Each structure stands twice: as structure tokens, then as C-alpha cells.
Amino acid sequence: MNLDNIRIVLVNTSHPGNIGGVARAMKNMGLSRLYLVEPKQFPDEQASWRAASAADVLDNAVVTASLDEAVADCQFVVGTSARGRRIPWPLQDPRRCAERMASQSASEQVAVLFGREDRGLTNDELKICNLHLNIPTSADYSSLNLAMAVQVVCYELRMLLDVDRLSAAEDAEWDTPFATRENMERYYQHLESTLVDIEFLDPAAPRQLMARLRRLYSRVRLDEMELNILRGILTETQKWVRKARSGE
């Protein structure tokens, strides 16, 4: 994913305060490319005020005279709409749509279009889109404030970036390799035979014990060192059982 290849396009925005709010939402989530198609009032003091420390996003905003101009070099365009299925079109929620945008953005220019405060995007504007995005809401009131709608979409993109980074960092920084499937399987055999030895598990009536233990262990990913410790404990346990039995 490359956030620099994703642009936010605001069509015919009426209130400059919303433009500022959008700039702030974008910068908070790490996006920087703002396109304004025929804004009613821009630049404007209210926009700068609402942008707070995102003045750079406003300064670098590209103002265009038409939507076509704003998305001319884009290969993938998403249209957002408060009303689901205004026209029959592939429709996705922000999470699934963000996944799609993330993968397209690796090699393509991606645009997300946001409509007018009073009327949203026209059907003609929605028709140039590859995909429509709808933010699920209460049935009573489906229309979010423009900047809040942008926030939701940018947040979903951010979450994907962090997931990418966190899972990579988790694996890279771990000091011991994670246990292989083969070694986990060996451990489960060892665990099962030990549980039989100590008569915790009755082979005639095993119930779901091993399945539950497997599920427990698979919730944490054990590394090889941890696995060795657990195997050591089992080996010692079996030794004591044998000793006790031979003294019986």
C-alpha cells in the first residue's frame, strides 16, 4: 500500500470549514493529497482554522475546474454515497473498500470522491467510479458530515498500514523463530501421552480435551524456545511418573 498514491477529491464543497476538517482528518491518518473540484470558497480563513496543524495539506491542495481533470491520471476511482445503491453498482463498506484501495495503490493512482454537503455526488459522477463506498449508519440518519465521512475512510486505510507494519515488526523483532507445524504436532503427541501417563486423559473417553488444548495453544504462537521448555516439563513429568510406578 502506498498512501501517497491515494487522493481525496471533494466535489463542489460549500463550506470552507469542511475543507479544513478534511485536511486535518487526512493529515492525522497520514494522507496528504487533496483535490478540490470547484470549491465554493477557497482559500478561506475558516478552512485554515479548522485545518489546525494541517495547513500544509491545504497549501498543497490542487484546485480543478472539473472532476474529470481531478481524476484524469487515476486508474481506480471510488465514489462515496450516503444512500446505498442509488444506482446498481458494486458497493462495499469502508473496510473492504480500503483493502481494495490499499492493494491498487501499490502500483496505481487511486481517488476517493466525496460529494456536496446538500446533494452528495450526482448519478453521472457516481458512474465514473469503479466502486461505491457506503459507511453503514443508523437507518434514521445516514448522512455524515463531509469531514467525518473522510475521517472514517482515511482511518480504515490507516488501520491497514498499521496492521502491515505491526505484524511485520512483531515477526522481525522476535528473538527466536516461531514453532513449525511439525514441531507443534510433535508437542501435541507428547502432551497427549503425558496426560495419559498421569491419568488426566482417559484414552477410552478422550472427549474434546486435545481439541481444546490445541485451540488454546493456537491462540498464542509459540516460539521454538517456549516449545522446548514445555517439552522439557513433559519429559520430567513422565520420568517422575515412571519412578513412582516402579516404587509401587
Binding site for ligand SAH (CB under 6 A): 80-83, 114-115, 117, 119-121, 133-135, 137, 142-144, 146, 149
Provide the H-helix boundaries in the chain: 16-29, 45-51, 55-59, 67-71, 94-105, 123-127, 146-173, 181-197, 209-219, 224-247
Q: Report in angstroms how near the CB of residue 21 gets to ligand SAH at its nearest.
A: 11
Q: Report in angstroms how near the CB of residue 172 gets to ligand SAH at its nearest.
A: 37
Q: Report in angstroms how near the CB of residue 112 gets to ligand SAH at its nearest.
A: 9
Report d(CA 48, CA 58) in Å as an integer: 8
Tell me the residue number closest to ligand SAH, measured at CB.
120
The residue assigned the cell 476511482 is: 77
Rounded to whole angstroms, what are the CA distances from 40 to 56, 108, 183? 20, 30, 65
Nearer to ligand SAH, 149 or 179 (CB): 149
Q: Grid coordinates representing 234?
A: 513433559
Report d(CA 137, CA 115) in Å as an integer: 17
Closest CA to 77 of 16, 35, 19, 26: 35
Q: Report in angstroms how near the CB of residue 149 gets to ligand SAH at its nearest.
A: 4
Nearer to ligand SAH, 2 or 92 (CB): 92
Nearer to ligand SAH, 126 or 222 (CB): 126
How do 6-11 and 131-133 pair as beta strands? unpaired
Question: H or E stretch including 11?
Answer: strand 6-11
Report d(CA 119, CA 126) in Å as an integer: 12
Nearer to ligand SAH, 42 or 188 (CB): 42
Nearer to ligand SAH, 114 or 187 (CB): 114
Q: Report in angstroms how near the CB of residue 59 gets to ligand SAH at its nearest.
A: 23
Q: Report in angstroms how near the CB of residue 32 gets to ligand SAH at its nearest.
A: 19
Report d(CA 235, CA 58) in Å as an integer: 66
Nearer to ligand SAH, 136 or 206 (CB): 136
